[in-house]
Amino acid sequence: MSKNLVIVESPAKGKTIEKYLGKDYTVKSSFGHIRDLPKKGLNIDIENGFEPNYEVPSDKSKTISELRKAAKSADTVWLASDEDREGEAIAWHLCQALKLDEKKAKRIVFHEITKQAIEHAVANPRTVNMALVNAQQARRILDRLVGYELSPVLWKKVRPGLSAGRVQSVAVRLTVEREREVKAFAPQLVFKVTATFLADSSELPAELTTRFTEEESAKDFLKACQLATFSVKSIEKKPGTRSPGAPFTTSSLQQEAARKLGYSVKQTMTLAQRLYESGHITYMRTDSTTLSGFAIKAAEEFIKKQYGDKYHQVRQYKTKNQSAQEAHEAIRPTSFAKLSAGNDAQQEKLYQLIWRRTLASQMAPATVDKTEIIISPSNRSETFVAKGEVLKFDGFFKVYGGTKDDVILPNIKHGQEIALGEMIATQTFSKPPARYSEASLVRKLEELGIGRPSTYAPTISTIQARGYVEKLDLEGTERSIKSLKLKTGKITELLATEVTGADRGKLVPTALAEVTTDFLVRHFSSIVDYNFTAHVEEDFDHIAEGKQEWQKMIKAFYQDFKPLIQQSESVTREETSQSRELGLDPKTSKLIVVRFGRYGPMLQRGVTESEEKPDFAPLPTGVDMNDVTLEQALEMFKLPRIVGKTDDGEEIKANIGRFGPYIQIGKLYVSIKPHDPMKITEDEAREFYAKKLQQEAEKNISEFPSGIKVLNGPYGPYVTDGKKNARIAKSVDPKSLTEEQAKEMLEKAPDKPRRFKKRKHKK
C-alpha cells in the first residue's frame, strides 16, 4: 500500500484525481455517505441535546472494512470529499467510522478537478471544519424531526404513506397557490390596434399606445381614422447596449438548461456531476457568481486571441444572495481551450452552454442603434409608435445569445405625412399567472431563500414521486377572437379562433397536494411559512460561520413544533377530507358529497352513520373535486357500465379506478386510457380486450406442473413461483428451460424485498 490514502465520494471523481497524483498516492471511494441516521425510528435523543444516533448502513460494511485496512497501512489519510457542508460532514463521518485522529487526517478541498487545483489542495491541507459539519447536522436533524413527527400525522388525517418535509411541503404549497391563482383568474378583454403605414414605398409597422376596453371604443377610433391624415410627430434615435448575464450558479444553470436544452432539473444536475467528476467544469453546487482571478485571466487571453481586444471586458459579478455558501466560485469550464467536452451528446450540449455563458460574461456588451417614431392621426389624441433596432457591434453575442435581427425603419422626416395601408383592432385577453415549470419553481425557491443548490433537484423529484405534483403538457381550449379591419376606407369584421391555456412541462398539483397543503397551512402554518423556511436557512448559515450553536437552534425550533403535533391529534379525518355536499339523489333521496378519500378524490352517496353502507364512485375524468356538479356525480353512479359482451358471452364492464378508466371481463382488468368509460363502444372495448389477450399470451412462455412459470417481463424473461423471481441470462433460451433448471434458479435467487415495512414508533 502507498504512503498516502486519498478518500473521495465517487469512483468517477477518484479516477480523474488519480491521474494527477503520483505513485505514492492511492485513491479510494466512500461511495457517498458512509454513516447516516438509520431509516427506521427517530434516532435522535431529544432529552440529551438532540444527539443523533448515526450508524453505518449494512451495504457500506464492506466499504468501511476496505477503507480501514487501507488507512492502517497508510502514513497519511487525505479526506477529499466535496467542498460544501455535505462534503465536510462526509469527511467527519469518515473520521468517526475509520477511527481516524481528526488532528492527523488531512482535509483537502478544491472546486475543480485539475492538476493545478489538486496540487494546490495537497500543498494546503486543513483539518475538518466542525462549524460546517454542525450546520449540516442541524439540517439533517431538523428535517428528520419534521419528517418523522409530521408524516405520521398526515397518515392519520389525510392518507397513509404520505411524507412531509420542511422544503418539499413549501414547494408543494407554491404550486397549489399558483394553480388556484390560475383558476381564479378572470381574463380582461382589450382591443389592441396595429397599423401598417406607407412611406416612400416602404411599409412602416406601428402599434397604438392606447388599449380599448370596449369594442365600441375601438370601432369609434377606426371610424375616426377613416377621415384622418397621419404625420410623423417625432423621431428619436439613441444608442443602446445589451450586457451579458453572470456566470452560472446551480439554479441559473438549471433554468437555462431547461429553457435552451429542454433538460429537467434532475437531468441537468446528473450531467453536470459527470462533467465535474471528469475534470471538465468546476463544482456544480454553488450559489456564487464570482470567478477566480485565474479564470478571468484565462478568459481574457482566449477572447483577445480568438476575437480581438475590442471583444474583451473584465467583469466580476457580485453574488445577489449575501448568504451564499458552498463552493466559492461560479460554474465554469476548467479550461477555455477545451471547446467541447463530455462523454455523450447531452453532456457536450451542457458543457457548451457553460463554456459560452462563462466566456460571454467577460466580453464587451453588444451595441445597438434604437429608433422610435411617433405617428399621430389628425383628428385624435392617441398616437402610434414604431420601433426599430440595428445591431452595430455584436460583442458577447459572438458566443452567447445569437445575433439580433435588425428592424430597419424607412428613412422619413419629422412632420412628414404618411399614408395608411391598413389598421386592425384585435380582441386580446390578459393572461393568468404562469404555472410553474421545474426551472421557474427553482427560481422562486431561490428568490424566497428556501433550500440550497444541493436541495433543488431532489425536492422537485420528490414532490413528483410522492404524487403531489404532476409534470403535464396542457392542451388548452379554443376561443373566438374578433377583429375590426380598416382598409381602403372600409371597416370589416373578422372572426378567428385561438388556443388558450396550452403549455408544456408544467407542474400541476394534484388533489392530494391541495388537501395536504390546506391541512398543513391550517395546523402547521409555521412549517410551511415562506419566511420561516428562509429564516431556518439563515440559522444554518450562522452555525456554519460559528456564530450559533446547533443544539440551541434545534431546541428553539422543537419547542414550538412539538405542541403543534400534539394539538393536531384532535383534528378529525372528516375535517381534512374537504367534504362538500352536492345535493340529493332524486331516485334514492340520499345525500351525495364529494370528498378526499383513502385513494384520492371520490363521490359518496349516503352517510356513514346510517345502517346502510354508502355507495362510492370516482370523479369524472378531468374534473376537479372543487368543480364537480350534482349532475356529473349522478352519471358516475351509473358505473360500472355494461358495454357489451365478448365472443364467449362474458360481460364487458367499463369503470374508473385508482389508475384511470378500464374495462373488466371476469377477473381481467384492461386499461382503456384515454377513453371515457361512459362513451367507449363495444367494438373499441373488444379491441382493447383482444390486445390484452395477445399480450398475456406472449407473456406466458411456459408453465410446469409445480406451478413454476417462465414469463416475459418488461426487463426480459424470468422464472417465478409467485413468491420469488429469477432472471434468465441472455445466453439462455427461456423456452428450453426444464422444471429442474427453473427450480435451481429460484433456489439461488434472493428473496423479494418487502415493499411495506411496519414502523415502530417510540411512545
Whether the predicted pLDDT of 682 surpasses 50: yes
What is the pLDDT at residue 595? 85
- pLDDT (0 to 100) of residue 324: 47
What is the pTM (predicted TM-score) of this model?
A: 0.80
Are the C-beta atoms of 266 and 250 separated by less than 8 Å? no
pLDDT at site 404: 65
Fold of 189-243+366-429: Topoisomerase I; domain 3 (2.70.20)
Q: pLDDT per residue over 111-160, tens digit each?
A: 888 888 898 899 999 999 999 999 999 999 999 999 888 988 888 888 88
154-185+434-569 CATH: 1.10.460.10
What per-residue confidence (pLDDT) applies to 755? Answer: 47
Residues of the chain with CATH 2.70.20.10: 189-243+366-429
CATH architecture of structural domain 250-360: Orthogonal Bundle (1.10)
Mean pLDDT, all residues of the chain: 88
pLDDT confidence of residue 326: 44
Class of domain 4-128: alpha beta
Distance from the Cα of residue 86 to its chain's centroid: 22
Q: What is the pLDDT of residue 436?
A: 95
Provide the pLDDT for residue 667: 87
Measuring CA to CA, which residue among 262, 265, 254, 177 is closest to residue 459? Answer: 265
Best-predicted range by mean pLDDT (199-203, 410-414, 439-443, 612-616): 439-443
Q: Where exactly does CATH 1.10.290.10 map onto the chain? A: 250-360
First to last CA, the chain: 50
Return the pLDDT at 753: 58
Please identify every residue annotated as catalytic: 283
What's the average model confidence in pLDDT over 367-383?
Answer: 94
Q: Grid coordinates in use for 479? A: 376561443
Task: Tell me if 246 sits within 8 A of 286, measured CB to CB.
Answer: no
CATH 1.10.460.10 residue ranges of the chain are 154-185+434-569
Q: What mean pLDDT comes out for the span 553-566?
A: 92
Using the 8-state DSSP alphabet, how is residue 37 labeled?
-
Residue 23 has pLDDT above 80, yes or no: yes
Instruction: Report which of 693, 618, 630, 714 is spatially closest to residue 661, judged by C-alpha positions.
Output: 618
The grid cell for 233 is 410627430
The CB density around residue 271, as the number of other CB atoms within 10 Å, is: 23
Distance from C-alpha of 152 to C-alpha of 149, rounded to nearest angstrom? 6
pLDDT digits (tens, 9 = 90+) for 319-338: 665 544 444 789 999 999 99
CATH 3.40.50.140 segments of the chain: 4-128
Provide, rounded to the nearest whole percent, the portion of the chain with pLDDT above 90.
49
Helix (H, G, I), strand (E, B) or coil at 259: helix
- Per-residue three-class SS string for 481-492: EEEEEEECCEEE
* Residue 556, C-beta contacts closer than 8 angstroms, at least 6 positions apart: none
At 763 the pLDDT is 36
Does 516 score more than 50 pLDDT? yes
Q: What is the per-residue pLDDT for 762? A: 40
Backbone angles phi, psi at 469, to 5 degrees: -135, 140
- Cβ–Cβ under 8 Å, residues 144 and 37: yes
State pLDDT tens for residues 247-294. Answer: 999 999 999 999 999 999 999 999 999 999 999 999 998 888 999 888
